[in-house]
Amino acid sequence: MAEMKTDILSALSQNGSGIQLQSLASSLVEAETNSDRVLTERRVEDANTSISAMGLLSSQLGLFKAGMASTAESASRVASSTTNAVSIEVTMEALASDVSAVVEVNTLATSQVLSINFDTNTNTSTLLRGTSISLATDNAMTPLNIPIDGTNNTLTGFTRSLNSIDGMSASLINTGESMAFIIKTDAGVINALNDDSIRSIKEALGLTANGTEGQSDATNNPMGISSDLVAATDANFTVDGVNVTRESNVIEDLFTGHRITLNSIGTSTLISNESNTSVRERISQFLAEVNTLKDYLKTATQRGLNGAEEGSLAGDVAAQSILSKMGRLTTEPISGFGEQPVYLAQLGIKTELDGRLTLDEASFERAMEKNPEIAEALFASQYGSNDPGIAVTGLSFAPPKAGSYALVYDPNTTPPSATLDGENLDISLDSNGKTTLRSSLGDTNGMTITLENEQAVSANVRYGVSLTNSLETYSDALIGAGGLLARRETELTEDLQDFEKDLIAIEERVSLLTERYNIEFGRMEAMIASINETGEYMEALVDSWNQDN
């Protein structure tokens, strides 16, 4: 239809005004719509560029988040032992303090071992005589009763049942002459089976009170069992001359944040401390991650002034706010790591003229010499107190607000009273009989305080979020669902959809304008053509009159 109208206009223009009406209509339509089209196309291009740049920024922040996590998890504490008799390792760097101790191992923790030999007529399928066994340790409140039935009434089934019990293992072996049954408990006297349990096991194997070990008797000892019992022992050792006893050779409650393993009888000197070299390496890793993100943001947000190329995120509020956050790192306080906030400048970290962060080696060495634990503010979120007789913990999924809080406990009131940051605390006793104070209100919600001694306390407790953990959380909030960048990408996508709708509307407007001009010019040309035809008729009529005269 449009082509037919164009052909009609061409025919009319030949007989009418002689003007190229098709070209004129196109020019007029372009004049009315071109500026809107160019502006909208530029907006579409800019939106696509911004969406792509926002995706790249999200990727950069993902790498930054991973870098912060890696920096926080890396170790700067070095633990060592002078001999193989005792080994030491760091398990929780955030809680670990320096260790310097001489450990002398006198005895190792060992398991209780019950060995039972059978006569040559016994095999894995031999049936047990008992109907149940009852097992308990000297400290157990309630014995464990195990029925003996068709599922476990052979030596093989009985072995399987005992192996299913925590703290115990059982094995059935062929000695070459007969079968032997070995039952082993976890190390330590507290885990050993009591006499009644040993008797119950023997009775299940057919040994009665009238039977004699080592003598086969169809009634009183049908399997001809004989037994040997090796008693369990606790680990006994000294720490700087102080006697210590543990039920296991692997000890995690001796030095906070460390695991001690007793390997043999002997003496070892244990050392654990922060290595300046390791701390420096962690700080260098931290600075590299921050500088990489800052360099990217600086390039992406530059305005393109003085001939410089404009960045893909120039003028973007979200990107600029992140860059500003990175720029404030050296001046923002890190609370909860002492009575006063910690600043990066105290560690020798400074901002250069180009915005990059660097480490002043001399200032760093002085800071570490003055306070070796100051670097924890950078790497390890932790609870603490200025009173060594106080242990502070909290909820990992809902930690309190970082900061230092005043604790007051008075056991002499009726009932005893305790406040933290002015809020009352719940008071109870833990399983060891120690006073435990819990906060369920305000900024300290979730804090649990355990007192080593039952006496009045006036102290400060604190919770500090390390800078690496804080930046990791910040990055996660930016790129996570509902985060700043996610919202910004949604806004840009919605803008792009609106711009694309505007382009469609402009094309529709072009079609309508073109059709309107075609109609109007068609009418004009028809009128001009009619006038021209009338003129030609009048000229012919006048010529005819002249010839007649």
Residue 188: pLDDT above 50? Answer: yes
CA distance 277 to 396: 30
pTM (2 decimals)?
A: 0.62
**Amino acid 313: pLDDT:** 86
Q: Does any domain span residue 534?
A: yes
Q: Encode pLDDT of 298-319 as tens digits.
A: 999 988 777 678 888 888 888 8
Mean predicted confidence (pLDDT) in 161-187: 92
Q: Which of 119-133, 158-172, 237-251, 478-492 has the lowest mean pLDDT?
A: 478-492
pLDDT at position 18 is 56
Looking at per-residue pLDDT, the higher value among 129 and 261 belongs to 261
Residue 420 to residues 191, 374, 383, 441, 444, Cα–Cα distance (Å): 40, 25, 14, 10, 8
Q: Is 376 a domain residue?
A: no
Residues 404 and 428 in one domain: yes
User: What mean pLDDT is predicted for residues 81-107?
Assistant: 89
The lowest-confidence range among 83-87, 276-280, 336-340 is 276-280
Task: Work out the mean pLDDT of the chain and round it to a whole number.
Answer: 86
Task: Tell me: do 216 and 117 sit in the same domain.
Answer: yes
Q: How many CB atoms lie within 10 A of CB 426?
A: 12
- Cβ atoms 225, 213 nearer than 8 A: yes
Q: Please tell me whether residues 128 and 167 are part of one structural domain.
A: yes
Are 145 and 177 members of one domain?
yes
Question: Is residue 240 scored above 90 in pLDDT?
Answer: yes
At CB < 8 A and 24+ separation, what contacts does 40-47 make? 40/499, 40/502, 40/503, 40/506, 41/503, 43/495, 43/499, 43/502, 44/496, 44/499, 44/500, 44/503, 47/492, 47/495, 47/496, 47/499
Q: Percentage of residues in the chain with pLDDT exceeding 70?
A: 93
166 domain-assigned: yes
Per-residue pLDDT at 14 exceeds 60: no
Q: Are residues 288 and 342 in the same domain?
A: yes
Residues 310, 298 share a domain: yes
Q: Which of these ranges, 102-106, 202-206, 343-347, 531-535, has the smallest mean pLDDT?
A: 531-535
Domain stops at, among 368, 403, 437: 368
pLDDT for position 537: 66
* 304 part of a folded domain: yes
Q: What is the mean pLDDT of residues 176-205?
A: 92
Q: What number is the average pLDDT over the span 450-454?
A: 89
Statement: residue 74 has pLDDT above 80: no
266 has a pLDDT exceeding 70? yes
pLDDT exceeds 90 at position 184: yes
Q: Does one domain contain both 397 and 460?
A: yes
Q: Is residue 69 part of a domain?
A: no
Residues 397 and 415 in one domain: yes
Region 487-516: what's the mean pLDDT? 83
Q: Dihedrals φ, ψ of 103, to 5°?
A: -115, 125
**Residues 121, 206 within the same domain:** yes
| Statement to judge: residues 501 and 448 lie in one domain | no
Q: How do residues 377-386 score in pLDDT, each as one tens digit?
A: 898 888 888 8
Residue ranges making up the domain that contains 362: 277-368
Lowest-confidence pick of 296-310, 397-411, 518-532: 518-532
The pLDDT of residue 486 is above 90: no
pLDDT digits (tens, 9 = 90+) for 36-56: 878 888 888 888 888 888 888
Least confident of 89-98, 365-374, 430-439: 89-98
For 449, residues 6+ apart whose C-beta sits below 8 A from its C-beta are: 385, 390, 391, 392, 407, 420, 425, 436, 437, 438, 461
Number of domains in the chain: 5
Confidence of residue 2 (pLDDT cuts 50, 70, 90): very low
Residue 6 has pLDDT above 60, yes or no: no
Is residue 66, in this structure, part of any structural domain at all?
no
pLDDT of 16 over the 60 cut:
no
When pLDDT is cut at 50, 70 and 90, the band that residue 547 belongs to is: confident
Give per-residue pLDDT as tens, 104-120.
999 999 999 999 999 98
Tokens 């192996």, located at residue: 163
Nearest to 250 by CA among 234, 261, 263, 266: 261
Do the domain assignments include residue 61? Answer: no
Task: For residue 63, tell me if it sits in a domain.
Answer: no
Out of 212, 245, 274, a domain closes at 274
* Edge-to-edge strand ranges of the sheet holding 426-429: 390-393, 448-451, 435-438, 426-429
Residue 127 is predicted with a pLDDT of 86
- Of 275, 318, 245, nearest to 58 (Cα)? 318
Same domain for 316 and 418?
Answer: no
Q: Within this chain, do residues 269 and 282 fall inside the same structural domain, yes or no?
A: no
